[in-house]
Structure 1
Amino acid sequence: MRKSDKEVQPWVIASYISGAGILLVIYIMSGFWVSKWMVSHFEASAAWIAVGTSAGLILGVVNIIVLIYKLMGDRNG
């Protein structure tokens, strides 16, 4: 018998939340390393590292928001 979406176990929610934290770190570090590589490859200003890291942070937060909406669905409260 399949459980409905409203009967999600607490450990599933906890795993999504911890996974979201790990994803955020991965996005931030990816933005940092890609921008650092681009700065060294194209001999650009080091300020682009901050831009790349910020872009990774923004993308990570957007990913977490999408993940939360997907997990919560149409639930109220």
Structure 2
Amino acid sequence: MANWQRLLRQVLGFVRKNPDKANRHLRTAGETVKRRTGGKYDRHIDKATGMAAKYLGRQGGRDRRHDRGGYGGGPPKHRPDGYDDRR
């Protein structure tokens, strides 16, 4: 587990320092997988690479002093009592 965490820290460090290169590598990987699968999963690959690019874009400009972890970078919003989500 520690090796995975170390690898993830290295990858995110690379992304922060080189966002253009990271996006280029991501696109290249997506194109390679598309070619290897013969176009059968193009829609899924496009969705995955798009989400990864969006995530990496957020990582590139993040100020670590304000990083609270988790998805979205902050605590959940307060909802007043009686708030109904089912509208």
Structure (1/2) with the larger helix percentage: 1
Q: TM-score, normalising length from structure 2?
A: 0.43
Higher relative contact order (CA 8 A, sep 6+): 1
